[in-house]
Homo-oligomer: A and B are copies of this chain.
Amino acid sequence: MNDSTGPRSALQRSLPVVGEPRPERADARRNRLRVLEAAERLFTERGVKNVSLDAIAAEAGVGKGTVFRRFGDRAGLAVALLDEREQELQAKIISGPPPLGPGAPPAVRVLAFLDAYLDLLDRHVALFMDSENASDGARYRIGSYHLWHRHLSHLIEAARPELDADYTAHVLLAPLAADLHNALREQGYDLDRMKTGLRAVATSLLPA
């Protein structure tokens, strides 16, 4: 095996970059991966709601404190697990082909986003619920919420500059709350009905 950190110049050694924190310690990394693996395994085995953080810590072979230090709380763990899936959508939005990616007219991109998000949400409702509801207002503190919000906000600004784009973006994101999605699912709604309904609302709001 090669040593991954080669020799460093005196300058490099004597001037640690401020603001850029040390790289993750080896044991920290090992445990982080263990916990994520254990969580994923238990969640799919027993369902998100039926797994305590104690159980995850035990399954991962680490202490409870470790889980909390890494992820803050239950919501944080759920966020970490969702991250991967959300990044895929984020990538498509930033640099994928239209209509999700740049190139299509703003109103069309909004419709494409809502559709894509509903798909994602529907596939991972339980995880989303955990990440959004585990603590009060968690949804609005998560990085990805801000990303979706900024995206919509720009598109709304472009399509209808006379609206309060920032607020309107929150309004469009509101019906994507995991809680609501789950409640509608339970009362018999299917995914297509929501897609169609939301598309109709967005179309009224942002005529093409």
Stoichiometry, copies per complex: 2
Q: Is A129 an interface residue (CB 8 A)?
A: yes
Q: Is A189 an interface residue (CB 8 A)?
A: yes
Interface secondary structure of A, over-half rule: helix
Q: Is A31 an interface residue (CB 8 A)?
A: no
Q: Is A80 an interface residue (CB 8 A)?
A: no
Give the total of A residues in contact with B, Cβ under 8 Å: 33
Residues of A within 8 A of B (CB): 49, 129, 133, 136-137, 139-141, 163-164, 167-168, 170-171, 174-175, 177, 179-180, 182-184, 186, 189, 193-194, 196-198, 200-201, 204-205
20 contacts between A and B (CB under 8 A): A49-B136, A133-B133, A133-B136, A136-B179, A137-B179, A137-B186, A139-B183, A164-B200, A167-B184, A167-B193, A167-B197, A168-B197, A168-B201, A171-B175, A171-B198, A174-B175, A174-B177, A177-B177, A204-B204, A204-B205
